[in-house]
């Protein structure tokens, strides 16, 4: 069994813990979190071992082999993911047993797929991706690294989601469209055309309301 830490002891960390506790291949040794209020406490019987700055020492002292980043913010999650890889830890996946995953689906490292998600055939999912409850990814979609797809979002066939993009709750993206890197699709939006890099789109149909820096 891989001795594993969950990085992030908030609500999403508890979701990831719920999934990993059913895995016969993983032993959750603890959480890491920069919130001093939770350090040295326990969550569902699992200790919070320290903050993220202490990662290297905790890995050594507790014989940690693997990690998963349970933080919703894409940029923060990406930075931590790259660090755990750099120090040689294995990024593991947390995939709920009720998720429906078709044939020839490729899934990267550090991916969380939760209750009731549907991922159809020939879809490619990059590293460090979060796919929320009831989200539907139709066939031949491509999800780049560090993406967050919120609950009940629906992606039609052949959609591409750029690195670091956020897809809001209940959003609908029509077939063969591209959502640009670091873009945000607001909750409930219906996307009928490509979304530019760094754009924030909302509404039905979705329209650009601003651009993010970076």
CATH code: domain of residue 82? 3.40.50.20
In tens, the pLDDT along 151-163 reads 999 999 999 999 9
Domain shared by 26 and 81, yes or no = yes
Domain shared by 193 and 100, yes or no = yes
Closest CA to 5 of 96, 51, 66, 94: 66
In tens, the pLDDT along 64-115 reads 999 999 999 999 999 999 999 998 899 999 999 999 999 999 999 999 999 9
| pLDDT greater than 90 at residue 202 | yes
Tell me how far apart the alpha carbons of residues 95 and 90 are, in angstroms, rounded to a whole number: 16
Domain shared by 70 and 137, yes or no = no
In tens, the pLDDT along 16-61 reads 999 999 999 999 999 999 988 888 889 889 999 999 888 888 888 8
pTM: 0.95
Residue carrying the six token digits 């990406």:
78
Residue carrying the six token digits 């894409």:
74
Own/partner contacts of 166-175, CB < 8 Å, gap of 24 or more, are 166/74, 169/132, 175/138
Domain shared by 75 and 156, yes or no = no
Which phi-psi region, left, alpha or beta, contains residue 56 (left: φ > 0; alpha: ψ -120 to 50)? alpha
State which residues form the domain around 38.
2-92
Of 92, 113, 128, which closes a domain?
A: 92
- Residue 115 carries which DSSP code? T
* Sheet containing 46-50, strands listed edge to edge, beginning at the edge strand earlier in sequence: 42-43, 46-50, 26-32, 2-7, 66-69, 90-91
Share of the chain above pLDDT 90, in %: 86
Closest CA to 168 of 72, 98, 100: 72
Of 69, 92, 115, which closes a domain?
A: 92
Of 92, 124, 154, which closes a domain?
A: 92
């Amino acid at each position: 069994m891989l001795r594993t830490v969950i990085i992030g002891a908030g609500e999403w960390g508890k979701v990831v813990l719920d999934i990993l506790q059913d895995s016969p291949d993983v032993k959750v040794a603890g959480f890491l979190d920069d919130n001093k209020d939770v350090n040295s406490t326990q969550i569902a019987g699992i200790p919070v071992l320290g903050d993220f700055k202490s990662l290297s020492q905790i890995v050594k002292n507790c014989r940690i082999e693997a990690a998963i980043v349970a933080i919703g913010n894409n940029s923060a999650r990406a930075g931590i993911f790259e660090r755990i890889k750099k120090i040689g830890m294995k990024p593991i996946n947390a995939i709920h047993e009720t998720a429906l995953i078709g044939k020839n689906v490729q899934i990267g490292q550090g991916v969380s797929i939760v209750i009731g998600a549907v991922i159809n055939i020939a879809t490619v999912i990059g590293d460090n991706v979060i796919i929320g409850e009831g989200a539907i990814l139709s066939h031949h979609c491509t999800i780049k690294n560090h993406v967050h797809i919120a609950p009940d979002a629906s992606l039609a066939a052949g959609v591409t989601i750029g690195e670091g993009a956020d897809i809001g709750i209940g959003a609908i993206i029509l077939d063969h469209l591209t959502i640009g890197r670091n873009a945000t699709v607001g909750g409930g939006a219906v996307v009928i055309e490509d979304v530019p890099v760094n754009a924030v789109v909302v509404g039905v149909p979705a329209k650009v309301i601003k651009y993010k820096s970076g």
